[in-house]
Amino acid sequence: MPTSSEYIKRIEQALSSYLPKEDGLEADVCKAMRYSLMGGGKRIRPILTLEFCRVCGGNLYTALPFACAVEMVHTYSLIHDDLPCMDNDAMRRGRPSNHAVFGEDIALLAGDALLSLAFETMLSPDSAGTAAEDRAVRAAGILARASGATGMVGGQVIDLQNEGKQVTADVIQQMDEKKTGALIVAAAQMGCVLAGADGNQTAAARTYARSVGLAFQIVDDILDVTSESAVLGKPAGSDLANQKFTYVSLLGLERSRELVEELTQQALSALNAFDEDTEFLSSLARKLAVREH
Amino acid sequence: MPTSSEYIKRIEQALSSYLPKEDGLEADVCKAMRYSLMGGGKRIRPILTLEFCRVCGGNLYTALPFACAVEMVHTYSLIHDDLPCMDNDAMRRGRPSNHAVFGEDIALLAGDALLSLAFETMLSPDSAGTAAEDRAVRAAGILARASGATGMVGGQVIDLQNEGKQVTADVIQQMDEKKTGALIVAAAQMGCVLAGADGNQTAAARTYARSVGLAFQIVDDILDVTSESAVLGKPAGSDLANQKFTYVSLLGLERSRELVEELTQQALSALNAFDEDTEFLSSLARKLAVREH
Instruction: Tell me which residue in B123, B124, B153 faces A29 most closely, judged by beta carbons.
Output: B153
Q: How far apart are alpha carbons B51 and B57 in whole angstroms? A: 10
Q: Vertex B1, ends B203 and B267: CA angle to 5°?
A: 30
Q: Are strands A91-92 and A95-96 parallel, antiparallel or unpaired?
A: antiparallel
Confirm if B189 and A138 have CB atoms less than 8 A apart: no
Return the pLDDT at B246.
85
- In sequence order, which residues have a C-beta less than 8 Å from that of residue A223 and are 6 or more positions away? A232, A236, A291, A292, A293
Q: How far apart are alpha carbons A111 and B17 in whole angstroms? A: 27
Q: How far apart are alpha carbons A117 and A163 in whole angstroms? A: 31
Mean per-residue pLDDT, B12-21: 97
Q: How far apart are alpha carbons B222 and B254 in whole angstroms? A: 10
Q: How far apart are alpha carbons B123 and A145 in whole angstroms? A: 9
Q: Could you give phi then psi for residue A167, rounded to 5 degrees?
A: -120, 165
What is the SS3 assignment for A118? Answer: helix
Q: How far apart are alpha carbons B288 and B209 in whole angstroms? A: 12
* Contacts B136 to A, Cβ<8 Å: 133, 137
Confirm if A267 and A207 have CB atoms less than 8 A apart: yes
Structure ipTM: 0.95
* Contacts A111 to B, Cβ<8 Å: 112
Instruction: Tell me which residue in A26, A80, A134 faces B112 most closely, judged by beta carbons.
Output: A80
> What's the pTM value of the predicted model, to 2 decimals?
0.95
Distances (CA, A) of A67 to A208, A263, B5: 17, 24, 42
Q: How far apart are alpha carbons B53 and B47 in whole angstroms? A: 10
Interface test with B, best of A37, A114, A150, A177 (most B CBs within 10 A): A150
Q: How far apart are alpha carbons A128 and A66 in whole angstroms? A: 8
Distances (CA, A) of A188 to A127, A133, A155, A194, A271: 20, 19, 19, 10, 12
User: Hey, what long-range contacts does B285-292 have (CB within 8 A, 24 or more apart)?
Assistant: B285/B208, B285/B211, B285/B212, B285/B215, B288/B44, B288/B212, B288/B215, B288/B216, B288/B219, B289/B215, B289/B219, B289/B260, B289/B261, B289/B263, B289/B264, B291/B219, B291/B223, B292/B223, B292/B227, B292/B231
Interface test with A, best of B21, B83, B123, B156 (most A CBs within 10 A): B123
Residue B105 and residue A160: Cβ atoms within 8 Å? yes
Mean per-residue pLDDT, B245-271: 94
What is the SS3 assignment for A67? Answer: helix
Residue pLDDT tens, chain A, 293 long: 899 999 999 999 999 999 999 999 999 999 999 999 999 999 999 999 999 999 999 998 899 999 999 999 999 999 999 999 999 999 999 999 999 999 999 999 999 999 999 999 999 877 655 788 999 999 999 999 999 999 999 999 999 999 888 888 889 999 999 999 999 999 999 999 999 999 999 999 999 999 999 999 899 889 988 987 666 666 667 776 666 778 898 899 999 999 999 999 999 999 999 999 999 999 999 999 998 87
The type of residue at A258 is E
Confirm if A158 and A178 have CB atoms less than 8 A apart: yes
CB atoms closer than 10 angstroms to residue A242:
12
Distance from CA of A102 to the nearest CA of B (A): 12
Give bridge partners of residue A95 from the DSSP assignment.
Answer: A92
Q: Are strands A91-92 and B95-96 parallel, antiparallel or unpaired?
A: unpaired
Residue A119 and residue B141: Cβ atoms within 8 Å? yes
A246 closest CA partner among A168, A151, A160, A154: A168
Distance from CA of A185 to the nearest CA of B (A): 16
